Amino acid sequence: MKKNELLLLLVAFVLRFKLPAAACQALLTLFDLILPGCIPATNYFVEKLFDFDTRTVESHYFCSNCMNYFGTSVPEVCCQCNYTYNGDTKLCETSFMFVLPLIDQLKYVLGKDINWNCIFQGTRNNSEQLTDVYDGKVYKELRQKADITLQFNCDGAPIFNSSKFSIWPLVCGINELPSAIRNCNMMLHTLWFGRIKPCVTTFLQPFVSEMISLYNNGFRFVKAGQELVLYTSATLCICDAPARAMLQEFVQYNGHYGCGFCCHPGERTQKGSGTVQIYPLKSLFANRTHHTTLQHAEQATASAKPVQGVKGASLLSLLPNFDMIRSFVPDYMHCVLLGVVRQFINIWTDSSNNSKPYYIKNTATIDKLLKTIRIPDEINRLPRSLADRKFWKASEYRSFLLIYSPVILMGILPHSFYKHWLLLCNGIRLLFLNKVTATMVKASRNCLYKFVALVPELYGSEHISYNVHILTHLPDAVLNWGPLWSHSAFVFEDVIGILKTMYHGTQLIPKQVFKYFNGWNKLHNYSALMVHSHESVTDMYKKLSSSSKSIMQGFGTGKFVGLRKSCTDVTEFHLTAIRYCLQLDGTSVFTYESFDRFVIKDQVFSTDAYACNFRRNNSFILLTNGCFAYIKACFAVSCCDCGSAECACFKHIILFAKCCMSTRSKTFVDSYAGIDLRQFICQVTQNDDAMIVVRTDDIICKAVIVEDIHKRFYALRLPQLL
């Protein structure tokens, strides 16, 4: 094992188990006794390397009596409630929050060449296709006024099971970075820790103040010996419905005029023994605008009553280059996956609906089909039964919606309800592609509008919930900010989940969180050093870093990396095919290596023989010719004659694949949507014909095979899951 590998494993171990400084020092000393000089023997080098220093973290105080924001110092008297402090910070021991200024974090992120090149030297998509946040209409409008734009999120999470203490982090990402790299370079700005929810104005004050300064004055950054002034603005806020209403100073989703995107008043209707707020699609209502929202805020402040759902002025309205309506997005993770998908699964399986035509009595059949699905590494969680649906995570609902349900529900859900469900599947899937066009957005809008419009007829008006209504706003969000996956709360929820584990003991928890957060960021950036390590080392690193994703993901190398050599015999057929593919004559000499697991275009693939031993299958792919195929063998071929034992010359990557016979499944053409609702499903059968030779450029993406109740197999291409 190399020295850098050992050091990365050691630091991953320290972070994974949150070892205090004394335990870390003891561990370093133990390693130095066993193998003298193998790693640094003191904490100083490790803390310097991984930026564990928390002295740059600022304490911002506020009044414990009225929540009035003070800043980095405590005044003599609170100007709002006249409570006396005499400048004593000890009187604010329970009323403060920690802030890590963005300037230092931005400089660190921009100091990496790959990030700098992506932001300032990368070529942007000039077509009308939407491929990421930076292709959206509103993004392009707001980016003209700043060099760097940020997206941010704030939400709360309980930190102890035995008390009401919770953390409220404000996390930022850089819009100009590609999503995979952006997700690896998140910045933690503010951290509130306490028994109660933060006062929004107080909580946002440090962030808004710094963003105003960064927009008006910029910050100085030295690149290649040249000093630059870079101007930054926050342009996009991503959060769930309750947090969004709190930040916008709007009424909640279950109140009158509860939609933060349009002026739909909603109405109350009977459900069970109580009432619920619903949003029927009887007519179209005007979208809210930044200007009218500020007007309503003034009226609401003067009258002390909400005006069309606006309760007052939000502090975010002071953010320069920020639109109070269009800079918020209806996050699909909460409104679609944890909202609509979960809502309808519960409707189908709730025993109180046993007399309804859509009721699914025998869920065991669905459970059996779910457990037969073999998934690629990009899907983090293996399919679980419907009996465990109360414990399903958002990613599991996503897989069910986009991959499993279009096949599994075929023949189980009655025809009219199944076709209705396909409207949702298509509407979301069209907004989920790597490249979304205006035509796709239009088709998606038609699907989602029809899905919402049919809910009262099929299920009852009481099920037109706020989340169902929000579906009608998703197409506009994609036009404004790119595909759904590019501006979801998934990455922020992951960060919050990690932050909840970044402490030991109960003292100075916020400072511990900042310390370990910086360490995790640094560790992830060093992960690229492990790509050529032995499989046992990388597997150990994945376990310690709690990551099931490829360590190549997010670094954009695009290189081939062999992860596990194959023990399969190489036949004369393979050698002849390689010669033919590379146009080599019978006298040409070449060398080759065969692999069972390997990385292509930053994704892990495997051969079918390797995958058959696991519930994960990274061997099933979609080719450019439209054929679904299994990878049977992979060869890295070198035609050079350099004679070096560690040859680094160009290698040709040759794959052998066996194609499946595929046919389009029975069409469900919807005249209103203008598409075949089963266009993304292909029925496949195993083909026993000879194998074909495939180059890496022939691979479009991975695919998944799903079986229906009639033992027919269907292939679906893997959607973008970032």
Confidence of residue 42 (pLDDT cuts 50, 70, 90): confident
Confidence of residue 376 (pLDDT cuts 50, 70, 90): very high
Is residue 283 over pLDDT 90? no
Q: Which one of 465, 481, 500 terminates a domain?
A: 500
Top-confidence residue, 78 or 544: 78
The CA distances from residue 205 to 199, 211, 319, 549, in Å, are 10, 10, 10, 36
The CA distance from 641 to 539, in Å, is 34
Is residue 102 over pLDDT 70? yes
The pLDDT tens digits for 512-541 are 777 777 676 667 666 666 767 777 787 777
The pLDDT tens digits for 256-278 are 999 999 999 999 999 988 999 99
Two structure tokens written together for 131: 């491929």
Query: In terms of domains, do 266 and 322 share one?
Result: no
Q: What is the pLDDT of residue 358?
A: 96
Is residue 700 over pLDDT 70? yes
**93 in a domain, yes or no?**
no
Residue 711 sits at φ, ψ, to 5 deg, of 60, 30
Q: What is the pLDDT of residue 591?
A: 85
**Mean pLDDT over each residue of the chain, to the nearest integer:** 87
Is residue 110 over pLDDT 80? yes
8 A C-beta contact, residue 665 and residue 678: yes
Query: In terms of domains, do 641 and 691 share one?
Result: yes
Is residue 722 over pLDDT 80? no
The CA distance from 509 to 169, in Å, is 13
The CA distance from 279 to 412, in Å, is 29
What is the residue type of 131? T
8 A C-beta contact, residue 151 and residue 175: yes
Mean pLDDT (whole number) for 643-651: 60
The CA distance from 259 to 253, in Å, is 6
How many domains, the chain? 3
8 A C-beta contact, residue 200 and residue 192: no
8 A C-beta contact, residue 706 and residue 404: yes
Report long-range pairs for 529-534 (Cβ below 8 Å, ≥24 apart).
Answer: 529/4, 529/5, 529/8, 530/5, 530/8, 531/557, 531/561, 531/599, 532/561, 533/2, 533/5, 534/1
Is residue 394 over pLDDT 70? yes
The CA distance from 647 to 658, in Å, is 31
Report long-range pairs for 528-532 (Cβ below 8 Å, ≥24 apart).
Answer: 528/552, 528/555, 528/557, 529/4, 529/5, 529/8, 530/5, 530/8, 531/557, 531/561, 531/599, 532/561
**633: CB partners within 8 A, 6+ apart:** 566, 568, 574, 594, 607, 655, 656
Burial 481-508 (b: 16+ CB within 10 A, else e): bbbbbbbbbbbbbebbebbbebbeeeee
- Range from 111-115, 152-156, 343-347, 420-424 carrying the lowest mean pLDDT: 111-115
**552 in a domain, yes or no?**
no
Q: What is the pLDDT of residue 47?
A: 67
Top-confidence residue, 284 or 194: 284
Query: In terms of domains, do 681 and 601 share one?
Result: yes
Q: Which one of 479, 500, 521 terminates a domain?
A: 500
- Nearest alpha carbon to residue 232 among 168, 293, 175, 298: 175
Best-predicted range by mean pLDDT (41-50, 71-80, 162-171, 299-308): 299-308
8 A C-beta contact, residue 342 and residue 251: no
Two structure tokens written together for 190: 């503010």
Two structure tokens written together for 448: 């989602």
Confidence of residue 552 (pLDDT cuts 50, 70, 90): very low
Mean pLDDT (whole number) for 476-504: 87
**480 in a domain, yes or no?**
no
Query: In terms of domains, do 607 and 663 share one?
Result: yes
The CA distances from residue 495 to 16, 121, 310, 492, in Å, are 14, 28, 30, 5
Mean pLDDT (whole number) for 232-253: 96
Query: In terms of domains, do 283 and 319 share one?
Result: no
Query: In terms of domains, do 325 and 208 share one?
Result: yes
Query: In terms of domains, do 216 and 275 share one?
Result: no
Mean pLDDT (whole number) for 680-688: 84
Is residue 419 over pLDDT 80? yes
Task: Report the percentage of the chain scoring pLDDT > 70.
Answer: 90
Query: In terms of domains, do 123 and 210 share one?
Result: yes
Q: How far is CA 502 from the centre of its chain?
A: 20
Query: In terms of domains, do 225 and 116 share one?
Result: yes
Q: What is the pLDDT of residue 556?
A: 44
Residue 504 sits at φ, ψ, to 5 deg, of -135, 140
Is residue 573 over pLDDT 50? yes
Element (H, E) at 424: helix 415-430
Confidence of residue 362 (pLDDT cuts 50, 70, 90): confident
Domain range enclosing 266: 250-313
**179 in a domain, yes or no?**
yes
Q: What is the pLDDT of residue 51?
A: 56
Query: In terms of domains, do 307 and 260 share one?
Result: yes
- Nearest alpha carbon to residue 556 among 172, 178, 185: 178
**275: CB partners within 8 A, 6+ apart:** 268, 269
Query: In terms of domains, do 198 and 263 share one?
Result: no
Reduced to 3 states (helix: H, G, I; strand: E, B; else coil), residue 290 is: helix
Q: What share of the chain is helix, strand, coil (3-state, %, to 5)?
A: 40, 20, 40
Reduced to 3 states (helix: H, G, I; strand: E, B; else coil), residue 681 is: coil
The CA distances from residue 80 to 65, 68, 70, 536, in Å, are 10, 7, 11, 61
| Cβ-based burial of 688 (10 A; exposed 0-12, middle 13-18, buried ≥19) | exposed
Strand partners, 634: 595, 655
Top-confidence residue, 704 or 21: 704
Is residue 336 over pLDDT 50? yes
Q: What is the pLDDT of residue 648?
A: 55
The CA distance from 107 to 222, in Å, is 9
Question: pTM for the whole thing?
Answer: 0.88
Top-confidence residue, 648 or 336: 336
Is residue 55 over pLDDT 60? no
Q: What is the pLDDT of residue 661?
A: 86
Is residue 279 over pLDDT 80? yes
What is the residue type of 53? D
The CA distances from residue 534 to 297, 549, 561, 562, 564, in Å, are 60, 17, 12, 10, 9
Is residue 544 over pLDDT 80? no
Is residue 504 over pLDDT 70? no
Q: What is the pLDDT of residue 508?
A: 63
Is residue 91 over pLDDT 60? yes
Q: What is the pLDDT of residue 458?
A: 97
The CA distance from 416 to 464, in Å, is 18
Is residue 705 over pLDDT 70? yes
The pLDDT tens digits for 118-151 are 998 876 777 789 999 999 999 999 999 999 999 9
Residue 353 sits at φ, ψ, to 5 deg, of -100, 20
Mean pLDDT (whole number) for 604-608: 94
Residue 158 sits at φ, ψ, to 5 deg, of -65, 145
Q: What is the pLDDT of residue 691?
A: 82
Two structure tokens written together for 186: 């998140």
The DSSP-derived string for 175-220 is: TTS-HHHHTTS-EEEEEEEESSPPPHHHHHHHHHHHHHHHHHT-EE
Two structure tokens written together for 196: 């109660």
Query: Alpha-carbon torsion 238, 241, 242, 247, what sign?
Result: positive
**604 in a domain, yes or no?**
yes
**438 in a domain, yes or no?**
no
Mean pLDDT (whole number) for 203-217: 96
**197 in a domain, yes or no?**
yes
Mean pLDDT (whole number) for 221-247: 94
Best-predicted range by mean pLDDT (39-53, 274-288, 638-652): 274-288
Is residue 477 over pLDDT 50? yes
**296 in a domain, yes or no?**
yes
Query: In terms of DSSP bridges, do strands 148-154 and 232-239 run parallel, antiparallel, or are they unpaired?
Result: parallel
Query: In terms of domains, do 171 and 274 share one?
Result: no
Q: What is the pLDDT of residue 547?
A: 45
